[in-house]
Amino acid sequence: MAMSQPEQDERSAAVACADRPVVLSTHGLTKQFGSLRAVDGLDISVCRGDVFGFLGPNGAGKTTVIRLMLGLIFPTAGYAEILGNRVPGQRRQAARHVGGFVEDPTFYPGMSARRNLRVLGSMSGPVTEERIDEVLDIVNLRERGDSKVRGFSHGMKQRLGIAQALIHRPDLIVLDEPTSGLDPRGMKDVRELVRDLGKAGTTVFLSSHLLHEVEQVCNRAVIINRGKVVVQGPVSELRPQGTAVKVLTSDQRKAGETLTAQFGAGSVRSDEEYLLVSAPDEAVPEMVRRLVADDLDVRAVVPAPEQGLEDFFLELTESGDVGSGAPTGKRRLFGIPGLGRRR
């Protein structure tokens, strides 16, 4: 007897999670904005204990999907499910299990970090001073707990946003581009924090457009483009196939011609001042010999294992087009009544 689509979805989620409960899943999730289909029949599953990467280039529909999952906007078709609660129908019940932020966390700048956590956290339930100390410790902001947020760097605000997400010990943390706009130090701090959350058993849904970021912190991931799943599975199976090197010579235009003749036009592209060449390791010595034979000074040959996500999409979709996304609307936090209307 043939299974219905919901039964097939449940079976797929069960296979992905094996003996672990499914914390978050979407089933045929679709959102249409006029003539633009921003999310198109999305089926994903997040298991308890996952640090789940939600990957896609800017404009792929990631933030729209998050808003749909959390009931901040209504789907055109399909639904999301958080620990058995369907969204949007059971949004209030689902919200009890989730913490996090969409786009950027937002705080009262004239209040201290500690008071922000006390005030904002109390909107969803009682908050003890002991718990505030605990989450400030987790995000390494205990010493700045009594400082006003207006003096915080962007990275500190991101970490405070994660502290707020953790305040009520939710079953699922959703982070939308938490390293966006950070300097390298701030990015490293946030990634280490997410990695530590995963090690502690927290289920994290991490939206990002950086493949190497997800490789560093996630165990499972999905890649979407134009609101559709491109590939989904363990992170170890989502890495780009093959190898690449960056090449710097005395004449990059001429070097490009030489390398294109050797590897083909689709294997050579510009990457700032370098040429990025898709080539196996064993081909590198011959590549260097050909460049030298063409009277080119080879100044650098650098391994490039962290291929950009946009390049990876070209391999997966065989198309240079990237979806234009959908309107994102106001920035707001979720799981806390009224926060989207503060400012």
Alpha-helical runs (H) found in the chain: 5-17, 62-69, 91-95, 113-122, 129-138, 154-166, 184-199, 211-217, 252-263, 284-293, 309-317
Sequence-separated (6 or more) residues with CB below 8 Å from residue 133: 142, 145
Does some domain include residue 323? no
- Is 73 inside any structural domain? yes
Query: Does residue 201 sit in the same domain as residue 295?
Result: no
Backbone angles phi, psi at 266, to 5 degrees: -75, -5
Please give the pLDDT value at position 316: 62
Q: Are residues 35 and 166 in the same domain?
A: yes
Q: Helices 184-199 and 129-138 meet at what angle, rounded to 10?
A: 120
Q: Count CB neighbours of 49 within 10 A.
A: 18
208-237 as b/e: b if 16+ CB within 10 A: bbbbebbbbbbbbbbbbbbbbbbebeebee
CA distance 343 to 270: 43
- Weakly modelled stretches of the chain, pLDDT under 50: 1-6, 8-10, 12-14, 319-343
- Residues 264-301 have pLDDT tens digits of 887 898 887 899 888 877 889 999 999 999 999 999 99
**How far, in Å, CA of 218 to CA of 54, rounded?**
10
HSE, CB side, 13 Å, CA atoms: give it for residue 310.
9
In a domain, 315, yes or no: no
- What DSSP assignment string belongs to 165-192? HHTT--SEEEEESTTTT--HHHHHHHHH
- At residue 326, the pLDDT reads 36
pLDDT at residue 201, as a whole number: 86
- What CATH number did the domain enclosing 110 receive? 3.40.50.300
Domain region containing 177: 5-239+331-341
**pLDDT single digits (tens) 190-225:** 899 899 888 888 999 999 888 778 888 999 999 898
pLDDT at 240: 58
Tokens 């699922």 identify what position? 172
Q: How far is CA 259 from CA 43, 73, 160, 266, 291, in A?
A: 41, 49, 48, 11, 8
Residues 161 and 292 in one domain: no
Residues 198 and 221 in one domain: yes
Could you identify the residue written with the tokens 């005030």? 119
Residue 152, CB half-sphere, CA atoms under 13 Å: how many?
30
Supply the CATH number for residue 278's domain: 3.30.70
How does strand 172-176 pair with strand 98-102?
A: parallel
Question: What pLDDT, on the 0 to 100 scale, is given for residue 329?
Answer: 33
Q: What pLDDT score does 312 carry?
A: 61
Same domain, 116 and 248: no
pLDDT given for residue 317 in this prediction: 54
167 falls within a domain: yes
- 42 with 160, same domain: the answer is yes
- How many domains does the chain fold into? 2
Is the same domain home to 62 and 199? yes
- Residue 30: per-residue pLDDT: 96
326 part of a folded domain: no
Model pLDDT, residue 125: 87
Per-residue model confidence (pLDDT) at position 20: 83
Beta pairing partners, 52: 205, 220
Confidence (pLDDT) at 189 = 87
